[in-house]
């Protein structure tokens, strides 16, 4: 009987400890999510204000930048050069929204999974282009305690074939249905 009682007490203590650890991890994830949301808000403001220096400061030197429909870029200098060329060509972000779906703490890293909505001016287009999609960002905790982006990738939810039609004001699917 004493052995059964000890086993029950041990199991209750183990369960309590596990519950405490899970609650602590949830609290850490919530704090981390709030910290990342603040950084995302600062990033959006910097994009709207075309503050390229601030944007560059959000990345580690050996960042992996993996935009939709483009080759992977490794290194902050190459990423900045790409952004400079886009800016000079007339690309301009008008509005952006990040919706953080989940943040996964991983030691000195945090994995952010989310959705985005963006409106952009694109050279040669009369109207702004709106896009929505998903992204993954890996944040790295720095020695000073700050978070910087180590890896980022995103892609659109819009099928490129349909996006092209929408950009030109045509929707072939609907036109086919209108034919006699």
Question: How does pLDDT run across 146-175, given as a tens digit for each residue?
Answer: 999 999 999 999 887 776 555 544 344 334
Q: Give the model's pLDDT for residue 162.
A: 73
Q: Give the model's pLDDT for residue 4.
A: 63
How far is 147 from 48, CA to CA, in rounded Å? 21
- Specify whether the CB–CB gap between 58 and 150 falls below 8 A: no
Please name the CATH architecture into which domain 2-178 falls.
Roll (3.10)
Strands 59-66 and 147-156: parallel
Q: Give the model's pLDDT for residue 23.
A: 44
Q: Give the model's pLDDT for residue 26.
A: 55
Which ranges of the chain have pLDDT less than 70? 1-27, 163-180
How far is 75 from 66, CA to CA, in rounded Å? 11
Residue among 116, 114, 106, 117 nearest 137 (CA): 114
Q: Give the model's pLDDT for residue 74.
A: 98
């Amino acid at each position: 009987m004493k052995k059964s009682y000890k086993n029950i007490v041990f199991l209750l203590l183990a369960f309590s400890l596990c519950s405490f650890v899970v609650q602590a991890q949830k609290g850490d994830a919530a704090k981390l999510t709030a910290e990342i949301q603040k950084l995302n808000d600062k990033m959006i403001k910097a994009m709207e204000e075309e503050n390229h220096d601030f944007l560059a400061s959000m990345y580690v030197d050996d960042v992996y930048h993996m935009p939709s429909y483009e080759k992977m870029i490794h290194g902050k200098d190459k990423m900045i050069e790409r952004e400079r060329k886009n800016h000079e060509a007339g690309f301009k972000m008008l509005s952006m929204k990040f919706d953080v779906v989940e943040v996964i703490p991983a030691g000195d890293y945090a994995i952010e999974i989310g959705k985005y909505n963006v409106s952009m001016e694109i050279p040669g287009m009369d109207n702004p282009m709106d896009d929505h999609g998903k992204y993954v960002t890996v944040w790295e905790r720095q020695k000073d305690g700050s978070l910087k982006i180590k890896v980022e990738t995103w892609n659109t939810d819009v099928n490129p074939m349909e996006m092209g039609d929408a950009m030109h004001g045509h929707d072939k699917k609907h036109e086919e249905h209108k034919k006699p």
